[in-house]
Amino acid sequence: MKAYIKGTIFDKNGALLEDREFEEAHSLLPNILKVLYVYLSQVAGYGVITSGAGAAISVNVAWLSVNAADNTTNYGILIGSGTTAPAFTDYSMTSQTVTSVYHRVVNFAINNPTANSIEIIISRTFQNNTGSILTISEVGLVSYQGSGSNLLMLDHTLYTVTVPIGGAITLAYKFTLSV
């Protein structure tokens, strides 16, 4: 399985400014396999939530979701301004950005681009209402965990972008599997 990330930037009127290609993400963290293990085995597991506390990963499938609603800022695809290179032991974003940034609903798609491959795309749009240019240097994929959240992926410095005043960015993770 491989993971990729891309961004599409729009101005305040919705006109396309930049549509980047998918770049390979090098940010899969241990929690993604721990959550997958719990989902597939239906046996509770143990991980580190975004607060840094150890926590059981419940078999409750709703608790494994990244399907965040409008303006939900504790899971789904999240953004920040951290610039430290990711470490295998990361459990939280360095500097999440939430103030005056509207987090839209998370969207999903599944495709079969060839007979021997499949991909899942998870995307989310962020509206810059800060009154200044928004710089994003940190992107995370976080699952819901009831009393906390599980950081599944974290990209620092790989994908630094700026969003104009009143503009928006759609960030997408793509997971591919092929034989």
The domain segmentation of the chain, as residue ranges, is: 2-28+68-141+153-178
Q: What is the pLDDT of the chain when averaged over all its residues? A: 88
91-107 CB burial, b ≥16 within 10 A, e <16: bbbbebbeeebebbebe
Percent of the chain residues past pLDDT 70, beyond the cut: 95
Write a three-state SS string for 70-95: CCCCCCEEEEECCCCCCCCCCCCCCC
Q: How many CB atoms lie within 10 A of CB 146?
A: 13
Residue type present at position 140: G
For the chain, the 3-state helix, strand and coil shares in percent, each to the nearest 5, are 10, 50, 40
Helix (H) or strand (E) holding 41: helix 30-41
Give the C-alpha distances (Å, rounded to integers) separating 58 from 65, 89, 166: 12, 21, 39
Contacts of 100 (CB under 8 A, 6+ apart): 128, 129, 130, 131
Give the C-alpha distances (Å, rounded to integers) separating 146 from 32, 48, 50, 65, 143: 16, 13, 12, 10, 10
- The structure's pTM equals 0.89
Under the banding of pLDDT at 50, 70 and 90, the label for residue 157 is: low
Q: What is the pLDDT of residue 42?
A: 78
Q: What is the pLDDT of residue 129?
A: 97
Mean pLDDT across the stretch 43-53?
80
